[in-house]
Amino acid sequence: MSQRKRLRGFTLIELLVVIAIIAILIALLLPAVQQAREAARRTQCRNQLKQLGLALHNYHDNFNRFPADSTWSYIRGPWVAAGAAPGAQPTGEQARHLSWIYSILPYVDQAPLFNQINPSLQAWNQALPGGGTVQSVRLPNFVCPSDDDYQNLPQGMGYTSYGASGGYDWWSREDQHAGVFSLGQYVGINKIKDGTSQTVLIGEVSASGAELAGAPPTGGSGRLRRGNSRVFRSLLIAAQQHPRTMQNIGVWTAPDGTTHNGSTFTASGQFWWKPSPYAWGPFYFSFRPPMTEWEGAASAHVGGVHLLMADGAVKFASNNIHAIQNGSAGSAVAPQGTVWNSLHTMNGGNFELTPGDF
């Protein structure tokens, strides 16, 4: 009588041990994979900013200046004093509100799109030959790959992760607090007295909801970054800024042609562009430290934000960079004794910078 072969199988304990080992290996491997992916995304983000730097310098080569923060009006009215009555608004002003990104489209392989947009017509709801409107355009190279993918933004607006540096705040400045993209100004490299390697052109402006852990609230309408209250930067359409600052450069109209009333920024379509999430133009200011308020820089990367310098270099600034805490916009004398603010001003950053500062 033949002897039966005895079949050997896993015991329950052996099976549990194998499962536990596999789980440990996955737990060890997953963070490494995620870090590798984030490193790749950061590299792509840097490369995108470098391409923006090349585009801005090609624009400068042609026009001997960088583009303005926005083309606000087709007919720019006379200079209007802050607080002037509505009757003092410019005659014949026509809303355009095309952002600086529109100006560099031919230099980022988007000449066909640039040629489809008619700058002599109102940009808002302007139909494009290929379908859609100017405000609905989305360009992948203007979005950081680590940023959230916003599918349902109000008014069908496209967005960007990169904002132009306006300097200390949103006022139209030609003083020591002005950035390269100060409101309503055209700037050539010859005006950057602090040096192109120490002056920021573009920075990250993610609306992904990131904030510095434990950052104190600073009042006002700040920290609008999360959920349906986030602030995103529109791509081609620039929502107007604080009405009193806009009046100072002779602009009274919103993207849809409605008019400021000259006394408040809470009415629909004046400060923010219509419903939440709130649209803001592709620019930011240095009176807030990075990752603390919606008006400032922010990124979805761990530890800091990418900055495109005026010499074309891309640097990574730590969230803990020496900066103004609880800064205030509209100051008669903006504090200059910080690395962060010095980086964002063209002529007046009195803080001596070294490569190790950020």
Comparing 287 with 226, the larger pLDDT belongs to 287
Res. 214: pLDDT tops 50:
no
Res. 19: pLDDT tops 50:
yes
The residue type of 184 is G
Task: Find the mean pLDDT for residues 280-299.
Answer: 87
Confidence of residue 66 (pLDDT cuts 50, 70, 90): very high
Q: How many helices (H) and strands (E) does the chain have?
A: 5, 10
Confidence of residue 221 (pLDDT cuts 50, 70, 90): very low
* pLDDT, tens only, 88-129: 555 567 788 999 999 999 999 999 999 999 988 889 999 999
- CA-CA distances (angstroms) from residue 214 to 28, 147, 162, 358? 29, 22, 25, 21
- CA-CA distances (angstroms) from residue 349 to 191, 192, 342, 343? 14, 11, 4, 7
* pLDDT, tens only, 237-264: 998 777 777 777 777 778 888 775 544 4
In 54-161, beta strands by DSSP E: 70-73, 95-99, 159-160
Residue located via tokens 């994979």: 33
* pLDDT, tens only, 123-170: 999 999 988 999 999 999 999 998 878 877 887 889 999 999 998 888
Domain positions in the chain: 35-357
Return d(Cα 43, Cα 305) in angstroms, integer: 13
pLDDT of residue 350: 56
